[in-house]
Amino acid sequence: MTEHLGLVEGPKAPADFGTQEILTELQKRSRAKRGLIDFASYMDEMYESHAVHRLIAKKLEEVESGACRRLAIFIPPSSGKSELVSRFFPAWCVGRSPRTKFIHASYNADLAASFGRVIRDRIKDPRFGNIFPGVKLDPQAMARDEWATTAGGTYKAEGVGGGLIGFHAHIAIIDDPTKDWEQASSAAHREMLWNWYTSVLLNRLRPYKNGPGAVILIMQRWYDDDLGGRVKRQGDWDVLEVPSIATANDPLGRSEGEALLPAWRSIKELHAIRDENPMQFIALHQQQPVPNEGDVFDPDWFGEYDELPSALSFYGASDYATSEDRGDYSVHLVGGCDSVGNIYFTDMFRRQCDTAVWVDALLELMRQRSPNAWAEEPGAILKGVGPFIRRRMQEEDLYVTRRPFPSIANKVSRAATFAGLAQTGKIFLPKGAPWVGDFIDELVRFPRGKNDDMVDAGALLCRMIVKINRGEGAVVEAKPEAPRNLTFDEMVQRRVLRSRGTRIGKVAPFSPEPSIVQNVHNSQTLAAEVFEELPA
């Protein structure tokens, strides 16, 4: 009996196995047949699973059962995604349904073939036979990139863009379709990838378990218009987005700011990676790539600085909220203005927290920077907490002029001065500051993004600085004009040019008067749109 169970494979002799050990072995095999994580643990005793892997496994099991037909998993690099999705899952599926046909693609054929080799070897492993007896590979088709089962199941590995004529799939897996940032930044590569997916891969799918064939896309996000971004916008995909550092409504239920796999990559290490390149971090690790050009703000408008210039006049602004762990964020922003109107953003506080927490943060920024004035937006929140702020400032011997600025109903008009200053190169951000990535992300998604609290704080700060400096030969305020919406034909033309690799000139959707910045760029027309053809 023990030989039939395969227990002779272990270090003990058959006679050493008792009834309880046999029952335990049978239970392990049964669980491995039913669940992907148990299968991985049975096949590899060293396999280490965490909450994120269990969540992914649950989604993959829905694909195998036919409950999910389109699954996109966006997850940071080095998170164990390929081990589970590309090395264990296909073998488990073949064990449960030996006639299943797979197509497996990655950024090049060699990587895809390496997945195929591991899957093939796992099916040949005696432990696999313990779980799925009778499932065998066809001895006439056992190449690492192309093999078959004796029941008629097939596997084909290919690089994205490669040909698939003659092959079909019940389940197609696309694992890391983009190699690096250079590829992701190429409009030609993104278009090739999309054309290959829609015109080649989708045409290779065959019905699966009383429904259409399934596609699994697993990748780290690179670019707003990458393959992940395009399928996400289709709306009919089950999308799982897992950030390295937890944000609000984390899919794993983590507290905000918690690391994904602290035993593998600590929060300190993640912060160091983020500080090196906030823009790439927010894409690769937070799965929220910044669009290359926003509706109002463009990331290229903002300069960077390593050290602050001397003789700056500091100012602050706040966008207040009262909810904790939900709703809007409370934001404090501090900036220093030099003698020619350049504004250096220095400090940012942004949290969903109760009033006492953000008031303490406000007072601390006032203490650190000694601002000349602080901008606030009047309303019910300020009316309610204003006396409390005033009392706390008196207790801390902080005497800063707080200046209310009436709200402007139209969001774009409200941010006009802010965007106009940014477009003319007047706003600088601290290089490597941990908040810069989130700040730029919100700016370029404005006004359609989920949050605009940091935009509102920046708008308040810029309006106040412009107003205070009026007549001093630095920056003068101009009334923001109504937004200039692009026509439908203009929007289509811009999209066509971008798809061809044409670089689109930066333009804000409004036209402030040239006097918005005195003695600086007076010859520029801020609403001009320039198309600069790049080499083919």
The domain spans of the chain are 1-34, 48-242, 299-484
Indicate the average pLDDT of the chain.
84
- Is pLDDT at 475 greater than 50 in this prediction? no
Higher pLDDT, 130 or 496: 130
DSSP H or E stretch at residue 4: helix 2-5
Q: What is the CATH number of domain 299-484?
A: 3.30.420.240
Name which of 18-22, 72-76, 467-471, 479-483 the model is least confident about: 479-483
pLDDT of residue 294: 63
Percent of the chain exceeding pLDDT 70 equals 82
Higher pLDDT, 392 or 290: 392
Q: Is the pLDDT of residue 227 over 50?
A: yes
First to last CA, the chain: 70
Helix and strand numbers (H, E) in the chain are 20, 17
Mean pLDDT, residues 121-131: 97
* CA distances for 33 relative to 11, 61, 97, 117, 170, angstroms: 24, 11, 11, 21, 20
- CA 36, chain centre distance (Å): 26
CA 493 → CA 20, 189, 218, 225, distances in Å?
Answer: 72, 20, 32, 17
**In angstroms, rounded to a whole number, what is the distance separating the alpha carbons of residues 219 and 535?**
30
Distances in whole angstroms, Cα of residue 528 to Cα of each of 83, 90, 147, 507, 531: 50, 54, 58, 7, 10
**Residue 395's CB: how many other CB atoms inside 10 A?**
9
CA distance 214 to 211: 9
Q: What is the pLDDT of residue 385?
A: 87
In this predicted model, which residue has the larger pLDDT, 408 or 332? 332
Closest Cα partner for 375 from 439, 436, 315, 453? 315
More confident: 349 or 511: 349
Decide which of 136 and 470 is more confident.
Answer: 136
Q: Give the three-class secondary structure for 464.
A: helix
pLDDT at 483 over 90: no
Handedness of CA 377, 381, 383, 386 (dihedral sign): negative
Q: Would you state the pLDDT for residue 158? A: 97
pLDDT category at 493 given cuts 50, 70, 90 is low
Of 294-308, 376-390, 434-448, 494-508, the one with minimum mean pLDDT is 494-508
User: Which of the pair, 521 or 388, is modelled with greater confidence?
Assistant: 388
Confidence of residue 3 (pLDDT cuts 50, 70, 90): very low
Q: If you count them, how many residues does the chain have?
A: 536
Q: What are 238-291's pLDDT values in tens digits?
A: 999 999 999 888 999 999 999 999 999 999 999 888 877 777 888 899 998 866
The reported pLDDT for the residue numbered 292 is 60
- Read off the pLDDT of each residue in 482-487 and give the average, rounded to a whole number: 46
- Residue 511 has what pLDDT? 33
CA–CA distance, 106 with 116 (Å, rounded to integer): 11
Confidence band of 521 (pLDDT split at 50, 70, 90): very low
Query: What CATH code would you report for 48-242?
Result: 3.40.50.300
Task: Note the pLDDT of residue 534.
Answer: 30
Distance CA 183, CA 97 (A): 36
The confidence score (pLDDT) of residue 155 equals: 98
pLDDT at 280: 83
What is the per-residue pLDDT across 412-440, written as a single tens digit (0 to 9) for each?
888 888 988 888 889 999 998 989 988 98
pLDDT band at 129 (very low <50, low <70, confident <90, very high): very high
Distances in whole angstroms, Cα of residue 323 to Cα of each of 353, 358, 441: 6, 11, 23
Strand partners, 217: 72, 174
Across 228-243, average pLDDT: 94
Least confident of 32-46, 82-96, 150-164, 498-512: 498-512
Q: Where is pLDDT greater, at 417 or 512?
A: 417
The predicted pLDDT at position 13 comes to 43
Find, among 308, 288, 326, the residue nearest to 440 by Cα.
288
Structure tokens at 61: 């099991």
Supply the pLDDT for residue 291. Answer: 67
**Using alpha carbons only, how large is the chain's radius of gyration in Å?**
29
Kindly state the average pLDDT of the residues 136-148.
96
Q: What is the pLDDT of residues 62-93, one digit of tens each?
A: 999 999 999 999 999 999 999 999 999 999 99
- Residue 497 pLDDT class (50, 70, 90 cuts): low
pLDDT over threshold 50, residue 495: yes
> How much is the pLDDT for 223?
85
Q: What predicted TM-score, i.e. pTM, was given to this entire model? A: 0.64
Q: How confident is the model at residue 354 (pLDDT cuts 50, 70, 90)?
A: confident
